Chain A
Amino acid sequence: MNAALRADPARWINRAVAVGVLLFLVLAPHVVSDFNLSQVGIRSLWLGIAAASLVFLAGYCGMVSLAQAAVYGVAGFTYADLVVKLGIGQWPAIAAGMATAVAFGLAVGLVSSRTTGIYFLMLTLAVGVIVYYFYLQVEQISGQTGLHLDHAPALVGGDTISHPRRLYYAALILSAVVYVFIRYLVRTPFGLSLQGVRDDPVRMHSLGYNVPIHRAFAFAVGALIASVAGILSVFFNLQVSPSSIDINQTIIVLAIAVVGGLTRLEGAWVGALVYSVLFEYTQPWAAHLPSFFQKPLGSERYPTWLGLVFLVIVLASPGGLMGLWHGGVDALARRLGSRPRVGPAEEPATHG
């Protein structure tokens, strides 16, 4: 045991695990089956990016947004509309989809920037549901049964169903970019002032910062991250329809972030992995879970499972799975004889 390790064992344990996980993720296509790589791997990565946009807003800005599914829906629908209906090239369509989502995010951010805490949560939920009904009603934009791609574009490998590796690596690289981007952004002056706004908006205001504008820009940044997830989701699902952004999807994104840990960035992908495994593997045997009302057991009760996991995590560990992990590592580190680390805030501030 060298000196650095003895000084802070928790940090070294975390680093070792991070390197191991990264190595596994890079080598995963050679280890796991193509089915798991696609259905669990790619699903986890794109949902992880979506949840990361929420973790960024909740953890660093104190804004728990329920409009993230709507934002990535805007990106996905815009992209799919341009490609399917107008036959525009891939890159312009992707850029347009992301730009529309960011513009929408900025608009919603400006409207909601004066509300905080629980009001913000309710307002963004209302916005999210309104966007869902908008796409449900306006079939000229959303198509009668949603918009469908024949196959994924060549830039992610065309036939992603039988050859998912290229899309997997694309999603992995984008996840890494999003992770590094958020980590970098929160260290910039803008990111630091966002955390100041989170912790004490009144003091930031009296220091001369324009608090609503900061909140609005933060929401636009969150929209930029979510739009990446929106484009990836269309590549992965080969379709986008109003039900891709309904309230269940909104809650799923929230549940992923909460299960992973609402203030821990890594938690977004951890939660997404838990969701994808539940989604893929509880469906067959969740059918045997008794319905509380004891009537026909549907074949797909995984929402109940997800809801229960969500509920238990919220009740038992507000820090989510990553909170449990860090708690465990710190306990181990204490046994090895070091002082506990000072971690980030357990819960985002909810008071304005």
Chain B
Amino acid sequence: MRARAPIAATIGARTGPALGVGLLLFALAWVAYKAFGSGFGIDGGVPDWIRVTLAGLTLSGLYFVIASGFTLIFGLMRVVNMAHGSLYLLGAYAAFEFQSHHLISWGWGVVVSSLTVGLAGVVMHQLFLRWNQGQELRQALITIAISFILGDQMLAYFGGAQHYVSPPQVLSGNADLGIFCSTGGIFGGCLTFPWFRFVALGTAVCVALALALVLRKTRFGMIVRAGVDDEAMVGATGINVDAVNAVAFFLGSALAGLGGALAGVFLVIAPGEDADFLLKALVVVIVGGMGSLAGAALGALALGMIETWSPQYLPGAWSNYSILLTFLLLVFVLAVRPFGLFGRPT
């Protein structure tokens, strides 16, 4: 089993990207054909396309919020937090719990849930992870064990039933987009989209901008970026690395909690969702590249659009197989860039 001949390697290195890009272009062309092929009128595919695409963008935004916390923690500390999905679910259950006991309003519920989950993350980091810094595998195993315990305890407390968080009155209705209006009958009216999903999308955009600003412009962001490259050197300049790590872990966990609290309104809260959202976070950061914020945004966009477009635009008999598209996304990205689109080897 000697190394391949260079020529074969070159061919392999060129066909991979070509095949991936070709497939991507074909998929986009197919969606465009289905959406615009029957004209731009109200009877065409455009209203559905707008609705589905907006839903996809919302989902992408949610994935970004969750995955950005995951990638932030990894980028700074090299900790792969396998309990990130559990923290997401904890945030969703916390928001549900605050609401079902009428403790605080919905908005404050989101804030307090995020802070609670952030605190839980810090406790986990301080108790179990801090003194294992640098042992990646051991830290991953520890967080896996914690996610196992957390999942079982949440099942014990909240049961197997599905829960929802109801949005506040102002956000519970649909936004009238004022296009593709029809008249007459009970189906009259314009194209609508739930207000709450706009809020979720807006929140995601705000989180992205805030994170980018914090990382680029503040002293804390400067320390984090330096820590990504050389943590020992940052410590040697007199900065309290432990404190910075704790803040980063708080922030990353709180983002998972925020995602959960938002998702509780338009997705189900149930046992097993922790694994589901750990998968989403993993796929997003594997595709985008671990530790990269831009990569997380791109990965979240790719995953969100695949998940919403494929049930809509795949031929009916194939729609069961839509999960394979996620797999294909992973395969092609990794075949071309083993460390993800924006990733770099450690």
- Chain A positions within 8 Å of B, measured between CB atoms, are 64, 111-112, 114-115, 117-119, 121-123, 125-127, 129-130, 133-134, 137-140, 193, 205, 208-210, 213-214, 246-248, 251, 254-255, 258, 291-293, 295-298, 301, 303-304, 306-308, 310-311, 314-315, 318, 347-348, 350-352
Contacts and interface: CB of A to CB of B under 8 A. Distances in A.
B338 A126 contact: no
Interface string B122-141: 00000010000001111011
A337 to B, nearest CB: 34
Query: What's the interface size class on B, roughly?
Result: 35 or more
Contacts of B276: 129
Contacts of B147: 251
Interface stretch (B107-115, B202-210, B230-238, B320-328): B320-328
A118 B73 CA distance: 14
B137 A352 contact: no
A135 B2 CA distance: 38
Nearest to B137: A350
Contacts of A351: 346
B244 interface: no
B141 A254 contact: yes
A122 B272 CA distance: 18
A201 to B, nearest CB: 12
A108 to B, nearest CB: 9
List of 8 A-B pairs having minimum Cβ-Cβ separation, nearest first: A307-B149, A114-B338, A247-B275, A307-B148, A303-B152, A311-B145, A310-B145, A293-B157
Most A CB contacts (10 A, CB to CB) among B136, B142, B145 go to B145
Contacts of B2: 208-210
A130 B282 CA distance: 11
Contacts of A304: 149, 152-153, 156
Interface in B140-186: 140-142, 144-149, 151-153, 155-157, 159
B52 interface: no
A129 B145 contact: no
Interface stretch (B38-46, B59-67, B189-197, B329-337): B329-337
A129 B286 contact: no
B286 A123 contact: yes
Contact of A115 (B4, B326, B334): B334
B231 to A, nearest CB: 16
B150 to A, nearest CB: 8
Contact of A347 (B137, B146, B278): B137
Nearest to A129: B279
Contacts of A298: 155-156
A258 B78 CA distance: 21
B103 interface: no
B3 interface: yes
Contacts of A140: 320
A111 B320 contact: no
B6 interface: no
Interface in B255-289: 272, 275-276, 278-279, 282-283, 285-286
A304 B153 CA distance: 7
Nearest to A294: B157
Nearest to A117: B136
Contacts of B137: 64, 117-118, 121, 347-348, 350
Contact of A303 (B4, B148, B339): B148
13 contacts: A119-B338, A122-B286, A193-B1, A210-B4, A246-B272, A258-B141, A298-B156, A301-B152, A303-B148, A304-B156, A314-B145, A315-B142, A350-B136
Most B CB contacts (10 A, CB to CB) among A125, A209, A258, A296 go to A125
Given A210-B1, A310-B148, A134 B324 contact: yes
B290 interface: yes
Interface in B303-330: 320-324, 326-327, 330
Given A119-B339, A254-B141, A307-B145, 20 more contacts: A115-B338, A118-B137, A119-B290, A123-B330, A129-B279, A208-B2, A209-B1, A210-B2, A210-B3, A214-B1, A292-B153, A296-B157, A304-B152, A304-B153, A307-B148, A311-B146, A311-B149, A314-B142, A315-B142, A347-B138
Interface of B: 1-4, 78, 80, 82, 128, 135-138, 140-142, 144-149, 151-153, 155-157, 159, 272, 275-276, 278-279, 282-283, 285-286, 290, 320-324, 326-327, 330-331, 334-335, 338-339, 345-346
Nearest to B322: A137
A121 B283 CA distance: 12
Most B CB contacts (10 A, CB to CB) among A123, A247, A251 go to A247
A317 to B, nearest CB: 11
B153 A291 contact: yes
B145 A303 contact: no
B330 A311 contact: no
A123 B327 CA distance: 10
A301 B156 contact: yes
B334 A114 contact: yes
A308 B149 contact: yes
Contact of B320 (A138, A246, A301): A138
Contacts of B323: 130, 133-134, 137
Nearest to B144: A251
B321 A138 contact: yes
Contacts of A123: 282, 286, 330, 334
Contacts of B3: 205, 208-210
A47 B321 CA distance: 30
A303 B2 CA distance: 46
Contact of B156 (A114, A248, A296): A296
A126 B286 contact: yes
Contacts of A130: 279, 323-324, 326-327, 330
A255 B3 CA distance: 36
A119 B145 contact: no
